Chains A and B, each alone.
Chain A
Amino acid sequence: MEQTSALGSFVRRNRGLVVVVLLLIALLIFGSFYSDRFRTTSNILNVFEQSTGLALVSLGQTLTILTGGIDMSVGSMISLLSLLTSGLIDGKANLVVPVAAGILVLGALIGAINGLGIVWLKVHPLIVTLGMGALLQGIALLYSLGPAGKVPPNFKFLAYGKVLGLPIAAVFAILLFIAVALFLRYVRLGRYIYAVGDDHTGARLMGLPRSRVIIFVYTMSGICCALTSIYLVSRFGVGQPYTGINYTLASITPVVVGGTLLAGGRGGVIGTLLGAYLISLINNVLNFMDVSTHYQLIAQGLIVIAAVSIYVDKRKRI
């Protein structure tokens, strides 16, 4: 094959990223022409800030999908963990730090159990995490049938606070995404995530630590759910047993829109972050166009269809 230019090769390998960036730019230009209010810094920061919850949960989801799996328990996990966050803190400022730490550990633990279940039972991740999702939803409802507890006023700082004029949670999300991107590129375990998703049997024959990789990604997904839960409680002031219900499926959209193959082995977290921004931006633009939320749902579905139709997995058999 002839030598191709560096740019051409980059575009070919990162088609998802390029498409998302172009779409983001197009939407920004369109929005700016459409409405003066869209152009304002505060609106753009608002879009930025609103994407945080989705971005965080999609970060973990990207890792599971890179290994060729999926985590269908994220919605229930967020419901349970957000409920526990506000329920256990219950307005006591001195409990904020220990409870938040405990929630992170619990998220990691639930994720690890997902991973162990997949490795030990040899059951498809879809089924294992669906089962876990049902289990967690049941526990959440046993804990409380409605909103539970409350958080001290300064807890809201996490979601609404600003540093240097930028929303603190959104900045934290960016830093986390960059850290995970670097991890995927520079740490061995990160490289193995791609290898496991690319070829399961091959990974076994090569003696790669397949089980460890799988347990790791589901643990990470659990931690991301815990972060999302803490963020959502900070934003809404309280956790509810159905807070996370829409996140299970919503978390997959930014991942596939960002160019990660559902079959695994290809993609990355930066695409997911941009995908989350894109969805937040689309909803924002549609708001400005006075399109009701009902049609926003339709738009989201169509985006998923468009995304997956563009990045067809060429490895599927003839």
Chain B
Amino acid sequence: MSDAVHLQGTEDESNSSKLKTIASRFGIHIFLVALIVMSGIISPAFLSANNISNMLLQAAPLGIVVIGQAFVIILRGLDLSVASVMATAAVIATGLSGVNADVPAIVGVSLAIGAATGLVNGLLVTKRDVSPFLATLATMIVLQGFRFAYTQGAPSGNVPPLFRVIGSETLYGIPYNLMLLAVIAVIFTVVLSRSRFGREVYITGGNPVTARLLGINADRVTIIGYVISGVLASIAGLVLSGYVGIVDNWVGRGFELDSIVAAVMGGIALTGGRGTIIGGLVGAAILIVVFNAVLLFGMPVQLQIIIKGLVIVMAAAFYVRRSN
């Protein structure tokens, strides 16, 4: 394994392999663009301002959850509790608005629920060595129980008007919730790719043992990752309740899997240490476009789920092949 031999190997890289590198690096972006172009050709209505605005409105809550999920997955974890956090934040928000609480208090309580859930997840994973899958599964179930106990099965109250505006209205055609997503995405992209904490996230996710020997408080970094995921999920729950307009016990159902799927499609490896927020958002966009196209083409809505299933497996297989 001399250096000379090694260097020879790398110099041999031809143009075709460079093309391959580009394809594998930006494959998912190219796929998204191709998907949009094809959908536009098949159905011109797809590219109408109305439809695009509609898609973006739907994309925001998923995007916000994916950002949190990205932190957790890069840290070698998985957060199955996000949908439960979303629904709990939403039912409590409407419940509180029913007793005339003001908006800052509602938002505060909701975020606190998300943060507390994330904290419990993080503590279970780091201090008790529980696998992330089970830890977040357990908090998901517990939270679900609390939610049902709180609502007694039937959520009451209305979605506060401000949430309705943020969740479903647009300014010059740009949805407010998309602006919120953009702000969150920018903040957390900076955190992940530019900040010291972000670097610690990548090192810890890539190898927790190495991280510890480098003097990084791996447990603290991991716990903060889960708290970020919990807080963002509660924000997404409020945004989604604003979009839907009414609240039931299952706001955000399916988001735990959709967010994981989007992250994996976007190149955030389940093995940890790898991936970007932009990648996760591109993954989310693909899901939204596919869902929208299925409806627009007049296909049965159930196909959405089927296509989602196929896309999950194909995307994962694509990345596995690439990393080999």
Contact = CB atoms under 8 A, between A and B. Distances in A.
Contacts of A299: 145
A170 B152 CA distance: 33
Interface stretch (B48-56, B99-107, B301-309): B301-309
Interface in A117-135: 117, 121-124, 126-128, 130-135
A7 interface: no
B316 A308 contact: no
A70 B301 CA distance: 28
B134 A256 contact: yes
A301 B142 contact: yes
B129 interface: yes
Interface string A283-317: 00000000011111111111011001100110011
A292 B149 contact: yes
Contacts of A301: 138-145
B176 to A, nearest CB: 31
Interface size class, chain B:
35 or more
B145 A294 contact: yes
A100 B62 CA distance: 40
A193 to B, nearest CB: 20
A195 to B, nearest CB: 21
Contacts of A138: 302-309
B310 A302 contact: no
A6 interface: no
Contact of B146 (A131, A141, A298): A298
B128 interface: yes
11 contacts: A127-B313, A132-B309, A134-B257, A134-B306, A137-B305, A262-B131, A292-B149, A298-B141, A301-B144, A302-B138, A308-B128
A139 interface: yes
Most buried by B among A132, A133, A262, A298: A298
Contact of B141 (A134, A297, A316, A318): A297
Most buried by B among A130, A137, A300, A312: A130
A170 to B, nearest CB: 25
B317 interface: yes
A8 B320 CA distance: 45
Nearest to B127: A309
Interface in B198-214: 208-209, 212
A156 to B, nearest CB: 29
B134 A252 contact: yes
B203 to A, nearest CB: 15
A305 B124 contact: yes
Complex A-B, nearest 5 residue pairs according to Cβ-Cβ distance, in ascending order: A134-B309, A298-B145, A297-B145, A138-B306, A301-B142
B270 to A, nearest CB: 6
Contacts of A117: 313
Interface string B124-137: 10001111011101
Contact of A317 (B138, B208, B324): B208
B138 A121 contact: no
A142 interface: yes
Most buried by B among A128, A136, A309: A309
A121 B145 contact: no
Interface in B293-324: 300-313, 316-317, 320, 324
A130 B257 contact: yes
B270 A124 contact: yes
A309 B309 contact: no
Interface in A47-65: none
Contacts of A249: 137, 140-141
Contacts of B129: 312-313, 316
Contacts of A134: 257, 305-306, 308-309, 312
Most buried by B among A138, A252, A296: A138
